[in-house]
Structure 1
Amino acid sequence: MSLDTVVEDIRDEAHARAENIRDDGESRADEIVSAAEEDADELLEDAEADVEREIDQLREQRLSSAKLEAKQTRLEARRDVLGEVREQVEAELAGIEGGDREELTRALLESSSDEFDEGDDVRVYGRADDDELLESILDDEEFDDYEYAGEYDCLGGVVVESDQSRVRVNNTFDSVLEDVWEDNLREISNRLFEQ
């Protein structure tokens, strides 16, 4: 074997080895690229899932916020309507006239009388526009120890007090309305806002 043949064999072997190393390198590079692509795909899927979760969370938060705002707006509107109804009722109570007003005022005064002892000096207060009516009612024998004492800011009715009994009774239209309103507010609301 000649030197040229040996060199040729070494060269062929070196080329074959280099080819094997290149093939192994390319194979390894393909594996690394494939693994990197898989990792990138997983990262992309995770990022997309995170974005979807955030979008869902934001959507839920905004929806909840919108529902809460709508509920508050509805409640404010209901409160306004109830306020308007209350004002209408107060206006109608203040506008009661004639025999109906006298009958109601007398009934409230008589109801208040149960709180006082016979012989007590009793003072009666009422709405300024009702002074003549109250003085007329107090002229009855039934109310001998009662005197009209002046104005009380109310829609009508009476406030009655006595120093001897240390009692003050608020039997105004306002106080009766307040009691009825509070006791029936749920029913009033249900009737106004039937769904």
Structure 2
Amino acid sequence: MSLDTVVEDIRDEARARAEEIRGEADERAEQIIAEAEADAEEIREERQAEVERTIEQEREQRLSSAKLEAKQARLNARRDILEDVRESVEDALADLEGDRREELTRALLDAATDEFEDGADLSVYGRASDQALLEDVLSDYDNVTYAGERDCLGGVVVESSESRVRVNNTFDSILESVWEDNLKAISERLFEDQ
């Protein structure tokens, strides 16, 4: 074997080995690229899922917030309507006149005086515009005098100088009691369609 032949064989082996290494390198490079692409796809899918979760959370928060705002607005509107109804009732009570006002005033005065011992000296307070009515009604009672005005819609406040008892039978106090006792029923009736 000549030296040229040996050199040529070594070169052939080197070329074959280089070709084998290049093939392995290409195969490894393709494997690395495939793994990198798979990792990139997985990362992209995770990020996309994360973004979708974030969007869904924000949507739910905004929806919840909007529902809460709508509920609050509805409650405020109901409260305003109930306040309007109450003001209308107060106006109607304040505007009562004639026999109906006298009848109610007498009934409230009778109920108030029943809370005191017979013969007790009683002072009666009422609405300023009801003074004449009260003085007329009080003429039917012994030991009961008109003592002055009270800021109210009508009715009476009766107190005794001998005891520390005060009976508030004003239209205001009766309305407050009736209103509180019946607020749920009033609300249901006003808003039964909702």
Map of 2:156 onto structure 1: 158
Map of 2:69 onto structure 1: 69
Q: Which runs of 4+ in 1 moved over 6 A?
A: none
Shift of 1:165: 2.5
Distance 1:9 1:126 in 2: 131
Map of 1:23 onto structure 2: 23
Matching residue within 133, 142, 145 for 1:144: 142
Shift of 1:168: 0.2
Shift of 1:120: 1.1
Shift of 1:166: 1.6
- The CA RMSD over aligned residues, in Å, is 0.6
Letter paired with 2:188: N
Letter paired with 1:154: C
Q: Which runs of 5+ in 2 are unaligned?
A: none
Q: Which runs of 5+ in 1 are unaligned?
A: none
State the SS of the aligned residue for 1:177: helix
Map of 2:187 onto structure 1: 189
- 2:90 matches 1:90: yes
Percent identical among aligned pairs is: 68
Shift of 1:7: 0.7
Distance 2:163 2:99 in 1: 31
If the length of structure 2 is used for normalisation, what is the TM-score? 0.98
What are the residue-to-residue correspondences of 1:23-172 with 2, within 5 Å? Answer: 23-140=23-140, 143-172=141-170
Letter paired with 1:54: T
What are the residue-to-residue correspondences of 1:167-182 with 2, within 5 Å? Answer: 167-182=165-180
If the length of structure 1 is used for normalisation, what is the TM-score? 0.98
